[in-house]
Amino acid sequence: MFNALLKKLRIDVNKNSKLSFYLRGLYILYTPKSLYIKDLEKDYSQLDTKKKEAIDKRVSYYNKCSHPFVLPKETKTIFEFIKTEKKKTYFFDLLEYLKYFPYHLQIAYLFGDIREVPEIPTIVKSRPISQENANAVLLKLNKVRHFIFVEDTIPFQEKENLLVWRGKVHQKHRIRFFEKHFNNPLCNIGMVNENHLPKEWKKGKLSLKEQLHYKFILAIEGNDVASNLKWVLSSNSLAVMPKPKYETWFMEGKLEAGVHYVEIKEDFSNLDEQLHYYMQHPQEAQKILENAHQYVAQFQNKKEEDIISFLVLKKYFSLQKS
């Protein structure tokens, strides 16, 4: 019924349309549990052993909690969350899986770009990459913005020998990159926001399709992760970035330099060296692209993503003590 409605509205469900996202969110919100809930545990039980092991590893990675915990009395219940929280992207992404659980259960959550580990087990979109981040329980939040993948038909060797990037520049590390490389002949980079920074840095926006004409795309972290990293790794262009400091559902902490992306130093001093290397070694570049595509593939099965999301929350609630 819902997909038929989208068809009538001529909404492409394969694209991250905000209109279709909110329509689906409202559908989930107002559909009775009995009509909405799928048997995800049954779906999980029917998977083969290898697939179950892969799913279990991801669940353990997202939810590292290992001991029972008690949330503060003032923590919202699922019922209170549904009644009081603003109906925006984070709300609908979390609601999609909260509906599987009893509404009296408590849920601690933080929306937005989270860069610190909470004091209590909390559902978040992002967290620092660390061995001590168990209280930051990752869920696939704000996916309409972050989880975009592309179909790139341009082979790597047919692309321009340049690094491209467009985005907002106000964080110190992005400013440092522009100070060092804005005039670099190997770069086509531009700032799209208004601020006190040099006016020559301001350039017109480039669409994703336009950026795919370049061999290298900068994936530089912003407030937390680099929001373009998902679609860059799904393309035939190489992602170029320093070692990530933050991670989301995309498990940026599991990405390997020289395997999934081209790593540059924190001070950006070896950018030219790295770009020239992969221009001169296209076979190595192609191997990185193949690894990146294989990595991305694990996030593109909707049924498995549903199962993992459900199991992350199931573990969260099973450890919660009243």
Give residue-wise pLDDT tens across range 106-141: 999 999 999 999 999 999 999 999 999 999 999 999
Mean of pLDDT values over 180-189 = 98
Q: How far apart are CA 214 and CA 212, in angstroms?
A: 5
Share of the chain above pLDDT 70, in %: 95
- pLDDT confidence band for 8 (50 / 70 / 90): very low
Contact 103, 77 (CB under 8 A): yes
* Distance (Å, whole) CA 280 – CA 272: 12
Q: What is the pLDDT of residue 78?
A: 97
Residue 107 in contact with residue 77, Cβ under 8 Å?
yes
Q: Is the confidence at residue 13, as pLDDT, over 50? A: no
Q: Which pLDDT belongs to residue 43?
A: 95
Q: What are the two backbone dihedrals, phi and then psi, of residue 161, each rounded to the nearest 5 degrees?
A: -80, 60
The CATH class, in words, for 156-297 is alpha beta
Mean pLDDT in residue range 91-105? 96
Distance CA(291)–CA(233), nearest Å, equals 9
Residue 231 has a pLDDT of 97
Sequence-ordered list of residues with C-beta below 8 angstroms from that of 203, at least 6 positions apart, any chain? 166, 189, 190, 191, 192
Q: What pLDDT is attached to residue 17?
A: 77
pLDDT at residue 7 in the model? 43
Average pLDDT score over the chain: 93
Q: Which residues pair with 4 in a beta bridge?
A: none
Pick 29 or 182 by higher pLDDT. 182
Q: What is the pLDDT of residue 183?
A: 98
- pLDDT, tens digit (0-9, with 9 covering 90-100), for 202-218: 999 999 999 999 999 99
Q: List the domain boundaries for the chain.
A: 37-146+301-319, 156-297
CB 296 within 8 A of CB 230: yes
| Mean pLDDT computed over 167-175 | 97
Q: What is the pLDDT of residue 34?
A: 67
Task: Please give the Cα distance from 259 to 298 (Å, whole number).
Answer: 16
pLDDT of residue 185: 98
Measured CA to CA, the distance from residue 252 to residue 249 in angstroms comes to 8
Is the pLDDT assigned to residue 102 strictly greater than 90?
yes
**Quick one: how far is CA 280 from the chain centroid?**
31
Above 60 in pLDDT, residue 3?
no
* pLDDT of amino acid 1: 46
**What's the average model confidence in pLDDT over 51-68?**
97
3-state SS class at 267: coil
Tokens of 248: 């989301």
Share of the chain above pLDDT 90, in %: 87
> How far, in Å, CA of 96 to CA of 36, rounded?
10
Greater confidence (31 vs 99) lies with 99
Q: Which amino acid is at 299?
A: F
Q: Please state, in angstroms and rounded to a whole number, the distance separating the CA atoms of residues 81 and 71.
A: 15
